Amino acid sequence: MTALRVVEIVRRMEQGRTQPFLVRAEDDALYVAKGRTATRQGLCAEWLCAHLGWALGLPIPPCTLLSVSPQLLGVLGAEAAELGAGIAFGSRLEPLAQELMPQQVPEVAPDLRCLVLAFDWWLENGDRTLSAKGGNPNLLWRPAEPRLLVIDHNLAFDAAFDAALFFETHVFRMDAQGLFDDWVNAVQMQQRLRSVLSAFDVALASLPEEWHWIDPEQTVPVGIDWTARRSRLAQRLEMLVGGPS
């Protein structure tokens, strides 16, 4: 996939653990751009998860690869290194969307809540939490429509994934029993997830070569065996029916 050229760095975003940048690309659209601060593994995870999510029908905003030139970075000063020159991950900015609040959770359709819950469990993504005390849902809500938007997957494929903590803190944890403890629902979800596994292969083939390396000189590999992670996804599908962990 050809990366879109970034023509303007608008500002640093206030929200987001990776502190992304708002940029304008050559197609005149605004994107939330993640670069070096998100880590190479995080960028790969974003790209892979976006493709899997689209294949599932999840409302993930359009994403693209962005090309950031060293010359453009010169306007950033000290923050330049945190975005980095080269290929960044860009998620198209969704206007009028706000972070999902606890009181809005019941407004999300139950089937969509279950799909997001299963998706995060499958990808070992524990970074979607929310309770009355706060959290980090990584979900946006457009109340005028209303519409849910699913974002931020840079912490997916977590080797230290804690299933117990996941089911205690996930924003849609209230739907876990109806999904995982009901054999029919679990089998249907298993089949649905299995049907999109090939999207992982397509996304993996289109990963930028530089994302496989930690350093710009491409001498230090990231150390993630994505073929093994793909096998892990297939393995977790078998775990879904009969009690997830």
175 and 142, same structural domain? yes
Residues 135-160: tens digit of each pLDDT: 999 999 999 889 999 999 999 999 99
- The answer as to whether 226 is a domain residue is no
- The answer as to whether 244 is a domain residue is no
Q: Which of 37, 43, 20 is nearest to 207 (CA)?
A: 43
Task: Count CB atoms within 10 A of the CB of residue 121.
Answer: 25
- pLDDT the model gives residue 16: 58
The helix (H) or strand (E) run that includes residue 231 is: helix 226-240
212 and 160, same structural domain? no
* DSSP secondary structure string for all residues of 124-186: T----EEETTEEE--EEEETTTTEEEE---TT-S-TT--HHHHHHHBTTGGGHHHHHSSHHHH
CA gyration radius, the chain:
18
Please state whether the peptide bond connecting residue 110 to the residue before it is cis, i.e. omega within 30 degrees of 0. no
160 and 104, same structural domain? yes
**Alpha carbon separation from 132 to 43, 63, 109, 136, 227 (Å, rounded):** 30, 31, 20, 12, 39
Tokens of 122: 């499958």
- pLDDT the model gives residue 243: 67
- pLDDT the model gives residue 17: 67
Amino acid at site 127: D
Q: At what angle do helices 183-194 and 110-122 cross, to 10 degrees?
A: 60
- The answer as to whether 230 is a domain residue is no
106 and 76, same structural domain? no
CA-to-CA distance for 53 and 58, rounded, in angstroms? 5
103 and 186, same structural domain? yes
- pLDDT the model gives residue 242: 72
- The answer as to whether 228 is a domain residue is no
Relative to beta strand 86-92, strand 30-34 is antiparallel
Total structural domains within the chain: 2
65 and 9, same structural domain? yes
Tokens of 155: 């912490």
- The answer as to whether 187 is a domain residue is yes
- pLDDT the model gives residue 38: 93
- pLDDT the model gives residue 245: 66
- pLDDT the model gives residue 79: 80
- List the chain residues with pLDDT less than 50: none
- Does this model's pTM top 0.85? My answer is yes
| Long-range contact pairs involving 206-213 (C-beta distance under 8 Å, separation at least 24) | 206/1, 206/47, 207/44, 207/47, 207/48, 208/3, 208/65, 208/86, 208/87, 210/86, 210/87, 211/40, 211/43, 211/44, 211/47, 211/87, 212/40, 212/44, 213/40
105 and 87, same structural domain? no
Task: Count CB atoms within 10 A of the CB of residue 191.
Answer: 12
- The answer as to whether 8 is a domain residue is yes
**Alpha carbon separation from 21 to 13, 38, 50, 105, 200 (Å, rounded):** 5, 11, 19, 28, 26
Q: Domain limits at 177? A: 98-195+235-239
